[in-house]
Amino acid sequence: MTKIGYARVSTVDQDFEIQQQGLHTEGCQIIRSEKVSGASREGRTELATIIEFLREGDELVVTRLDRLGRDTRDVLNIVHECEQRGAFVTILDPHVSTRGEMGHVILTVLGMVAQMERSVIKEPARKHRQGESCWRL
């Protein structure tokens, strides 16, 4: 059983050192990182490499669910692909694992929250670009 960590940030000016430290502390033997948006799976070559590498009993570990993805369907598809390979997914904060059924329920809810957060972040930026007011009173 191998613990494989995945760290992701969205922009080049962000740093994944804290994520990498958390994954190392958790005992990940392999840690892959990339700077790419979590809005979709497009361009996420490190994640694709990890999923392809996973074997029965392995564990994909991320510090937070939004590091895995910000779209509920993408997150659930990633979890499904890992499980098809006999691997588990573990989120460190909050600590959730797909080793049990309750973990699947919690991951689904957290995936929905991550998607909602992304929508909330994008809306003011979209309004700003269009010259609309970002705030409602």
User: What is the pTM assigned to this prediction?
Assistant: 0.80
Where residue 8 sits, what CATH number does that domain have? 3.40.50.1390
In a domain, 76, yes or no: yes
In a domain, 93, yes or no: yes
In a domain, 135, yes or no: no
10 in active site: yes
Q: What angle do CA 76, 5, 45 make, to 5 degrees?
A: 65
> What is the tally of structural domains in the chain?
1
In a domain, 62, yes or no: yes
Residue 102 CB-density burial (10 A; 0-12 exposed, 13-18 middle, 19+ buried) = exposed
In a domain, 51, yes or no: yes
In a domain, 39, yes or no: yes
In a domain, 136, yes or no: no
- The domain in which residue 115 lies consists of 3-130
pLDDT of the chain, 137 residues: tens digit per residue: 999 999 999 888 889 999 999 999 999 999 999 999 888 888 999 999 999 999 999 999 999 988 998 788 888 899 999 999 999 999 999 899 998 888 878 877 877 777 787 677 666 655 555 665 554 54
User: Count of CB atoms within 10 A of residue 38's CB?
Assistant: 21
Candidates 10, 33, 37, 97; catalytic one = 10
In a domain, 137, yes or no: no
Residues paired with 8 in a beta bridge = 34
The closest of 11, 31, 1 to 92, measured between CA atoms, is 31
CA distance 79 to 82: 5
